[in-house]
Amino acid sequence: MRLFSAALALSLFAGVCLPGVRAQEVNQSAQDKEVCIRNLKQIYEAIQAYRRDHKDLPNWLSDLVPQYLKEPVTLVCPVTHRTGRVETFGLDDPKLTSSYLFEFCNAEMGRIYDGGKIKMRDWKRRQMGLVGSAVPMVRCHLHNPVLNLSFDGKIYESPDTWENLFNDVVNVDQLMPSRLFGQVADQIALGLSTPAGPQAVVRSPELRQRPINLSGFQNAMLTVAWHPKPADGSPGFDLSPLPQKIQTLGDVAFDVRGIVQLSGQKLKAAGGEFPEEVKGIPVGMKCRRLHFLHSTGWPASDGTQVGLYRLHYADGQTQELPIIYGKHVRDWFPNPGASALDSNTVVAWSVKPARDADNKTLFRTSWDNPLPDVELKGIDFVSGMADPAPFLIAISVE
pLDDT, tens only, 36-48? 999 999 999 999 9
Domain shared by 93 and 239, yes or no: no
Question: Is 19 inside a domain boundary?
Answer: no
Model pLDDT, residue 49:
93
Co-location of 109 and 232 in the same domain: no
Same domain for 219 and 84, yes or no, is no
Q: Which residue has the higher pLDDT, 206 or 86?
A: 86
In a domain? residue 139 = yes
> Is position 340 within any domain?
yes
Question: At residue 121, does pLDDT exceed 60?
Answer: yes
Q: Which domain range does residue 162 map to?
A: 26-189
Say if residue 135 is in the same domain as residue 259.
Answer: no
Asked if residue 151 is part of any domain, the answer here is yes
pLDDT tens digit sequence for 129-144: 778 888 999 999 999 9
Are 144 and 278 within one domain? Answer: no
- Indicate if 155 and 218 belong to the same structural domain: no
Q: Assess whether 243 and 356 both reside in one domain.
A: yes
What's the domain count of the chain? 2
Kindly state whether residues 184 and 215 are assigned to the same domain: no
> DSSP letter at 192?
S
326 and 365 in a single domain? The answer is yes
395 vs 188: which has the higher pLDDT: 395
**Is the predicted pLDDT of residue 171 greater than 70, yes or no?**
yes
Output the pLDDT for position 57: 92
Residue 203 resides in a domain? no
**Final residue belonging to a domain, choices 157, 189, 221:** 189
C-beta separation of 313 from 378 below 8 A: no
Confidence of residue 235 (pLDDT cuts 50, 70, 90): low
Report how far residue 336's alpha carbon sits from residue 331's, in angstroms, rounded to the nearest whole number. Answer: 11
Does 77 fall in a domain?
Answer: yes
Kindly tell me if the per-residue pLDDT of 167 is higher than 60: yes
Confidence check: pLDDT of 53 > 60 = yes
The residue out of 140, 157, 189 marking a domain boundary is 189
Same domain, 159 and 267: no
Q: Could you tell me the end-to-end alpha-carbon distance of the chain, in angstroms, rounded to an integer? A: 94
Which contiguous run of DSSP H or E holds residue 290?
Answer: strand 289-297
pLDDT value at residue 208: 67
Burial 5-38 (b: 16+ CB within 10 A, else e): eeeeeeeeeeeeeeeeeeeeeeeeeeebbebbee
- The answer to whether position 184 is within a domain reads yes
Q: What is the pLDDT of residue 132?
A: 81
Element (H, E) at 138: strand 136-140
**Among residues 189, 220, 255, which one ends one of the domains?**
189
Residue 21 domain-assigned? no
Do residues 341 and 377 share a domain?
A: yes
Report yes or no: 41 and 151 within 8 Å, Cβ to Cβ.
Answer: no
Does residue 214 share a domain with residue 184? no
